[in-house]
Structure 1
């Protein structure tokens, strides 16, 4: 067998020891294929981890896929690393690793560290590079100001292949650069602060949406080269827009060219299917107890943050990692060493991951998709948490959508579904998600989850979005939901952009723009996103009228906002609402505005009256539009305002407009409609 040239290794003894200890976080600088010069010759250095292989060779188009042309050398130190240098080949060459196991099995595998892969249905790796002359230094210098937990974070989640397609050919995917040209102005118009890309790592099966990854270090070639993706990210950065990448360390597919049984043994996954096989997705679970696998995964996270300038990672399916019995029946899982269901190795991995990420990049965020009540997901590791920056608030999402799907006639029986989230909102740093998972697989589009006729559906949807944007926590909305797409998301076609010509859809779109603008402009909506200091109930229990009223509070209390939401399809005239302070209160956003395809019921500025109501010393009577929300802000006082207030206090009270509070004889201790004076 002809050998490759044995040259000085990229691995030092220290590299190998770190790798074997699970502490090497930049393995992509060593493993994979690297073009370089050796003894005056240009060529490519290859390195792969295959400790249970008897032989490893590089095969490709450069040698006619001949397994006997270019064998790799195994290192003497027992690390299982095979390496070698092939002169005369460079960027663009296709290759695989051809291995023979000790049992005589022949395997051809793609490179786990390949920077680029052949376009599907091809399965070979490419010699490539991630060199790029970045021009986003202004963003990188100040991105901590955009990613901070006390800053507005409104995320637009999107799937690259189905956001928009070629207008000339609906089956043709736009490449990264084509998406950039259309996406950047769109996000600037809508006002989202960040874009979250569903997995852009190489995946063989397109209907997996990217969640079944084979090329962990490669941008999907469906949309272009690594540099094309970098261009997309750079253009977003240069326009003040952050980029979050979906990342999947929870499982990988069983494709023969991928990680599964990589060297003829269960190298990356557990051998026992009770630990290593995922029954829901037909995929394989990483062995988090193997140090080399931990180094592989943490290096991969660091890679996307370093080489691609990602501003955050949304970590997929964290719940499936934390529990050994996740989606398994009794007898289908193995307890941990203490007899429990917690996956101690995965917990340790997640903690180490977050410590490594934040040590290297303190100005990014990691976000956990975690659907259980696991404590401390977004708390620091040093205090016993998992160390994530944020966690998806799945409970809020489920309760809220279930409530909004109900006929308003029966909502008063389920009022607690909206208020319950505030009992635990500050236990974690929560992100409120209305994600792709809620508009697929028969769940219906967001607008068709809403009850009633078409006008009520859209009014409900606008109210849902106003409630979401004024609820504590950061925000995430899936593409198409911003204009009320009526069909479920289809990964195989473009969004229904033609709907934007119709008034109901245009109204939802205009409201989203206004909400994003309000969210970014009003500190009360983001300065205390994860603290009880930022929220106060004014009225959380008026189930009879279907009304919520609450304050969002900032560092400067002059910026406080009052939110009052009417969740019934009737106008509520003369609804007295408590106010936290005197002065004139003005509506800064009304989801019933005709500009948003509302009915146009207006609430003019109101002067706070010294009438104690809802445990507040001040109050005012408001007109609440149907199925709508109002956001009010106190007008800054002028020098003579205090005199006006004193004159108001001396003025005889107009008893015709002030409700009389009588003894509470209504069921469940609530005021009746007659007693409250808040007429239906």
Structure 2
């Protein structure tokens, strides 16, 4: 007997389909994630639950919750001063400093706020003054010690004793000149920099020197964003700023907070966004300068047991499951945006946060590796809330995740089940270039492999592409230019004195940058000096080098010297960025492969009306090499082999190239474009 479907049955079926939850956004876009949808939903719901808890079910905003910096720390009030600290394990707290000859005084004794772990001290206006140094003297059961307050906004180091202290800071408020600013992301072109080593002189550079001497270079070169490292105060200069001690204090070794504000203000006036390399993945172990044992509880801010110390970084790992720690870190994000007007953050060490293993020794070969129970849901929740907070404060803010495991959804929207970053670092690309340069002969460079690698990313996540990381510039590693040329840079980098190694290195340096930058789907990043092939590694002052600053600087004089080859690379980098800006919303423009031939080592692709053609072949030049492209005429706008960029100038770039008719492709509106392509060169043509 045939079955019948009644209207009632149809209504029930329709209702069931309607009630059935749709796949969450990132699963809709990637069906291979379906087996892990429960885990993805669980993380999303956990973050929503925590957000509701912290905001009293939405009765206040996340930004209102993240205001600890306005409450804790030392603040000048209308009448006097108020100091507050979260120290639940403390039994007594005194402020000691210049104002009381560093002795305990009952007038400077804080009291515990009943029923909380908070301590408070109110003082008269004359009790301290701008510039006074101070610390907390904290007592706990069985011990005591001097500590720098966790929420201190100004910390300085004595030049002779090297001891760090908090400093009373109450200058005239900085008057901002540029009150409205929105970052340009079309495309986002980031110049990664370090204030201290950003000058020629063998010393620690300052915010003011960077503002006056380096910002104009960055603007002239065409970058529209700077990513500043080492802003949060750190005891050891050579840590590159990654062992933070005072999270709310801009490093005083570079100058005052007002000078940092002036730098940011000036950058905004130049149309340059400013993002900060923020470190929330770990903290320095130091107890006298940092949070390691603020009040007798080594786990006040950090995980306990085996999870407290990072096994590879000699640092401490935050406990993201504690509301007070989340409050501290979220407030830190808001503070830098509110007080200094940073346009966003590059979050360091995200892989370390995501996994109990910190990602160490894991291969991450398939999706199951991201959902097998070894993920720190507390950290994932914190990062999700941080992204929501940052974009609540400034919807146009920029957040970037430095993450190596490839966790799906990291740079997907929170509403889609993602963690909410705007971009993730395309960390596969520099690894690929290192491996290629080290292990493959030039004859074995395959354009198909190069093209696949530079665009190897999730379709629903935007990335920041880069050729080399700042780590490669450190002693013990090598930048791309040094891998290509090595010591010959010291002897054959003068015009007219180049040998074969230098000629090869200059050519490939330009080609590597061009193919990496022009295949982006989000942004492009360069570490300062690498654009012109800075020859020296970075070696911060240390005992092993006699505490020398010789290699902790950038030698701008090299790129300024027109008798040397460095300016060829710098000039090329500038023209490359100009070329990318010829296409509106370049990063979102379709990336269309035109041709590749691994035997010839030829690659061609288009974005908008720009055609990019590469010949990676080290010895073969090609005459009349044909590509099927949209019908029309094409003019050369950039050639890596041009003499002005250190090439041979073999091709005549003044010629307008016309496509050749082919009846077979009339319906496709395509014809053959035939070019002369010298060995080891690339050319960009613009369709008229």
TM interval, shorter chain, is: 0.7 to 0.9
Partner of 1:606: 657
In the alignment, the residues of structure 2 paired with residue 235 and residue 22 of structure 1 have an alpha-carbon distance, to the nearest angstrom, of 27
In the alignment, the residues of structure 2 paired with residue 66 and residue 616 of structure 1 have an alpha-carbon distance, to the nearest angstrom, of 85
Partner of 2:592: 536
In the alignment, the residues of structure 2 paired with residue 570 and residue 394 of structure 1 have an alpha-carbon distance, to the nearest angstrom, of 31
SS in 2 for 1:466: helix
Are positions 1:293 and 2:325 aligned together?
yes
Deviation digits for residues 308-345 of structure 1 (CA, Å, limit 9, x no counterpart): 11112010000000011125579xxxxx9x97110111
Deviation digits for residues 363-388 of structure 1 (CA, Å, limit 9, x no counterpart): 11111001111001110111111100
Using the TM superposition, give the Cα deviation of residue 446 of structure 1 relative to its aligned residue in structure 2, in angstroms: 2.1
Using the TM superposition, give the Cα deviation of residue 96 of structure 1 relative to its aligned residue in structure 2, in angstroms: 1.1
444, 461, 483: which one aligns with 1:449? 483
In the alignment, the residues of structure 2 paired with residue 115 and residue 211 of structure 1 have an alpha-carbon distance, to the nearest angstrom, of 18
In the alignment, the residues of structure 2 paired with residue 471 and residue 268 of structure 1 have an alpha-carbon distance, to the nearest angstrom, of 46
Are positions 1:312 and 2:354 aligned together?
no
SS in 2 for 1:96: strand
Using the TM superposition, give the Cα deviation of residue 362 of structure 1 relative to its aligned residue in structure 2, in angstroms: 0.5
Superposition map of 1:22-37 within 5 A: 24-37=65-78
Deviation digits for residues 139-170 of structure 1 (CA, Å, limit 9, x no counterpart): x24x15x1x4xx1211111111111044xxx2
Instruction: Tell me whether 307-316 or 486-495 shows the greater mean CA deviation.
Output: 486-495
- Which protein has greater RCO, CA pairs closer than 8 Å, 6+ apart? 2
Are positions 1:624 and 2:674 aligned together?
no
229, 242, 245: which one aligns with 2:260? 229
When the two structures are superposed, what TM-score results if normalisation uses the length of structure 1?
0.81
Asked whether the equivalents of residues 412 and 544 of structure 1 are also in contact (C-alpha less than 8 Å), the reply is no
In the alignment, the residues of structure 1 paired with residue 577 and residue 177 of structure 2 have an alpha-carbon distance, to the nearest angstrom, of 27
Superposition map of 1:221-260 within 5 A: 221-257=252-288, 258-260=290-292
Partner of 1:587: 636
Instruction: Tell me whether 204-213 or 427-436 shows the greater mean CA deviation.
Output: 427-436
Superposition map of 1:361-510 within 5 A: 361-405=394-438, 408-412=441-445, 415-424=448-457, 426-433=459-466, 434-450=468-484, 453-473=501-521, 474-491=523-540, 492=549, 493-500=552-559, 501=561, 502-510=563-571
337, 340, 345: which one aligns with 2:373? 340
Using the TM superposition, give the Cα deviation of residue 629 of structure 1 relative to its aligned residue in structure 2, in angstroms: 1.2
Asked whether the equivalents of residues 63 and 389 of structure 2 are also in contact (C-alpha less than 8 Å), the reply is no
In the alignment, the residues of structure 1 paired with residue 260 and residue 111 of structure 2 have an alpha-carbon distance, to the nearest angstrom, of 34
Asked whether the equivalents of residues 51 and 80 of structure 1 are also in contact (C-alpha less than 8 Å), the reply is yes
In the alignment, the residues of structure 2 paired with residue 206 and residue 16 of structure 1 have an alpha-carbon distance, to the nearest angstrom, of 41
Using the TM superposition, give the Cα deviation of residue 427 of structure 1 relative to its aligned residue in structure 2, in angstroms: 4.1
45, 49, 55: which one aligns with 2:86? 49
Using the TM superposition, give the Cα deviation of residue 548 of structure 1 relative to its aligned residue in structure 2, in angstroms: 1.1
In the alignment, the residues of structure 2 paired with residue 81 and residue 582 of structure 1 have an alpha-carbon distance, to the nearest angstrom, of 72
RMSD in angstroms over aligned alpha carbons? 2.6
Using the TM superposition, give the Cα deviation of residue 15 of structure 1 relative to its aligned residue in structure 2, in angstroms: 11
Moved over 6 A (4+): 14-19
Superposition map of 1:48-127 within 5 A: 48-69=85-106, 70-76=108-114, 78-87=115-124, 88=126, 89-101=128-140, 103-119=141-157, 121-127=162-168
SS in 2 for 1:161: coil
Q: Which runs of 5+ in 2 are unaligned?
A: 1-53, 363-368, 486-499, 541-548
Partner of 2:174: 132
In the alignment, the residues of structure 2 paired with residue 514 and residue 125 of structure 1 have an alpha-carbon distance, to the nearest angstrom, of 46
SS in 1 for 2:157: coil
284, 291, 295: which one aligns with 2:316? 284
Instruction: Tell me whether 87-96 or 570-579 shows the greater mean CA deviation.
Output: 570-579
In the alignment, the residues of structure 1 paired with residue 321 and residue 196 of structure 2 have an alpha-carbon distance, to the nearest angstrom, of 35
Partner of 1:164: 199
Asked whether the equivalents of residues 587 and 633 of structure 1 are also in contact (C-alpha less than 8 Å), the reply is yes
Asked whether the equivalents of residues 524 and 552 of structure 1 are also in contact (C-alpha less than 8 Å), the reply is no
Using the TM superposition, give the Cα deviation of residue 519 of structure 1 relative to its aligned residue in structure 2, in angstroms: 2.1
Deviation digits for residues 253-295 of structure 1 (CA, Å, limit 9, x no counterpart): 1112211121111344434342221111100000100001001
In the alignment, the residues of structure 2 paired with residue 537 and residue 328 of structure 1 have an alpha-carbon distance, to the nearest angstrom, of 36
Q: Which runs of 5+ in 1 are unaligned?
A: 1-13, 331-335, 529-533, 554-559, 636-680
In the alignment, the residues of structure 2 paired with residue 329 and residue 372 of structure 1 have an alpha-carbon distance, to the nearest angstrom, of 11
Paired positions, count: 586
Asked whether the equivalents of residues 436 and 445 of structure 2 are also in contact (C-alpha less than 8 Å), the reply is no
Using the TM superposition, give the Cα deviation of residue 242 of structure 1 relative to its aligned residue in structure 2, in angstroms: 1.2
When the two structures are superposed, what TM-score results if normalisation uses the length of structure 2?
0.81
